[in-house]
A and B are shown apart, each in its own frame.
Chain A
Amino acid sequence: MGTGDALISAQGLMKRYGDSKVVDDIHFEVRTGEVFSLLGPNGAGKSTTMRMLSGTSTPSGGSLRILGMNPVKDGPAIRARLGVVPQKDNLDRELTVLENLTTYARLFGLSRKAARERSVELLEFVQLTDRAKDLIDSLSGGMTRRLTIARALVNKPDVILLDEPTTGLDPQARHLLWDRLRELKRNGVTVVLTTHYMDEAEQLSDRITIVDRGRIVASGTPAQLLRAHGTPEVVELRHDDGCDPSHLPALRSLAERVEVLGSRVLLYVKSAEETVAAVHRAGLRPSGTLERRCTLEDVFLRLTGRSLVE
């Protein structure tokens, strides 16, 4: 398969549990060698979609093709070339770190020798070599996540699926993980991840599909999304004693778009610096101002009226 071909292709994907549609008419494409993200708040159906991708869950409707095959019919064949990192670690608590990798390798058909070699190599990659003989309970959250990623790489997969990989990790662990993912991409592995962190989606991904409540909200590269649904910069005005509604018409004339979020007013503008000056010229005195770049969080807010992280 050449670069740019669709490794994963979902059309009208739907999953129903009882009466509720957890995933409703989702379509996306993942191209070989790229990093693709599904961005959305909790309950958007991201994990369900991931489970359908890995073949654990059967779609209620629509079509899904992975590596040119149907995950329901050709599950084992697909999973032989897939790596899966679930949201909650499901490592073997009764085995050591190294044993977790070697037993998993066996499930992919690796011989004992090959399994051991590969496991040692992977422990190096995720920097857990010195913990090889420890039991899982003695590892921190970041370490178990790294081990789960190592485990998902045991079969040298073409695609790796990660469901909210950095949730619950401290900033240092997050950045370490992002580094590993970037390196994977450099080595030609296609990365598919779900997340509710917009910085993660923005900084890691080549292309993003934003989902909310089981439906697609928008798709594109981070740059495309920001251009289409945002402005270059944002000014946040904080009013500690509430925002006076009579000021709003004046603010609206200063910006392309205005959003009110509680005690904050967001002004979507081309240049933040100029706008702040204009606000002061208009005689308005907010308690505080913040100038920043427009992010995917703003895009989500624009498209759904809600924020990514509650």
Chain B
Amino acid sequence: MPTFATAGAKLHRSGTFVLRGLLLNRRAWPNFLSTLLEPVILLLALGMGMGRLIGEVTVHGQIMSYEQFVAPAMLATAAVSGVVNETTYSFYAKLTQRLYEGYLATPLTIGELAAGETAWALLCGGVYSSAFLVSMAALGLAPSWWVLLALPGAALISLAFAAVSMAATTFMRRWEDFEQVSIWMLVMTMCSGTVFPLETYPGWGQAIVRLTPLYQGVELLRDLSVGRLTSGTAGHVCYLLAMSVAGFVLARRRLNRLLAN
């Protein structure tokens, strides 16, 4: 096999995108820091403030404080926002500046490009998730060591959202379209049984919410962080995996159309 076609060579090339991300974030650390702190701020607000007002919450027959209820949801948000930034604004900027055209004039293939960018996005998501987990523990919201299991769960959430996000970005035509991103992110966060228990919604609302990706992700994290592994958990995992696959297939097809005509 020629040297450039081995698995090692492919990894080396895909790794360029992670390296690139590290290089430029070395200089953009204020932005990095603020993205890190955002879910922590929300957790503090919700925990200290709303927690005091709301008191206790019953979920799946279990009673817990509001902070304990909301923490996995905020972890999911950290996992998602860590990834969305890189796969929307950043990705779109690279597409419109024709950066990828230059990169593709090398042995790099579009598949390796997509893999590399995903790896970088996952790294970002992983860092933000881990940082949040540490904050959770510092605030006393990590009941047991099971909570470490939430990390791979968060990684799966990051993967699923990265895939769909990249695919969606390939459809954007103007910078204004990105307003939609923050809008839907917010709607999703508010209305997916994350900040308030699902039971608050009427029956038909609950059915809809159960199908949304963030709800699935948060439920997965709730299960994992207390070590409750049921068939429901497997269901959430399958959902997120399917979402990842669908997102990547679509993204790949779109990238082929955009970058190689």
Contact = CB atoms under 8 A, between A and B. Distances in A.
Q: Do A and B have CB atoms closer than 8 angstroms in the complex? A: yes
Interface in B7-42: 9, 12-13, 15-16, 19-20, 23-24
Contacts of B208: none
B24 A106 contact: no
Interface in A58-81: 58, 75-77, 79-80
Given A76-B5, A77-B4, A109-B13, A104 B97 contact: no
A104 B260 contact: no
Interface residues of B, number: 28
A95 B4 contact: no
A103 B12 contact: no
A93 interface: yes
A93 B23 contact: no
Which of A84, A91, A92, A152 has the most chain B CB atoms inside 10 A of its CB? A92
Given A76-B4, A93-B97, A107 B108 contact: yes
A103 B20 contact: yes
A13 B259 CA distance: 21
Interface string B230-261: 00000000000000000000000000000111
B58 to A, nearest CB: 49
B3 interface: yes
Interface in B160-174: none
Contacts of B105: 54, 56, 79, 82, 84, 86, 152
A233 interface: no
Given A79-B107, A86-B102, A91-B102, A109 B24 contact: no
B106 interface: yes
B138 interface: no
Given A57-B261, A76-B5, A92 B107 contact: no
A287 B5 CA distance: 67
A108 B101 CA distance: 15
A99 interface: yes
A90 interface: yes
B13 A95 contact: no
Given A106-B12, A106-B15, A109-B12, A77 B2 contact: yes
A194 to B, nearest CB: 15
A94 interface: yes
Nearest to A155: B106
Contacts of A84: 102, 105
A84 B107 CA distance: 12
A86 B101 contact: yes
B183 to A, nearest CB: 27
A95 B20 contact: yes
Contacts of B103: 104, 107
25 contacts: A57-B261, A58-B261, A76-B4, A76-B107, A76-B109, A84-B105, A88-B98, A90-B97, A90-B98, A92-B20, A92-B102, A95-B20, A99-B23, A104-B103, A104-B106, A106-B13, A106-B15, A106-B16, A106-B19, A107-B16, A107-B103, A108-B4, A109-B4, A151-B102, A152-B105
Interface of A: 54, 56-58, 75-77, 79-80, 82, 84, 86, 88, 90-95, 99, 103-104, 106-109, 151-152, 155
The 4 tightest CB contacts between A and B, nearest first, are A84-B105, A76-B107, A90-B102, A107-B106
Given A92-B20, A151-B102, A155-B106, 4 more contacts: A56-B104, A56-B259, A57-B261, A107-B13
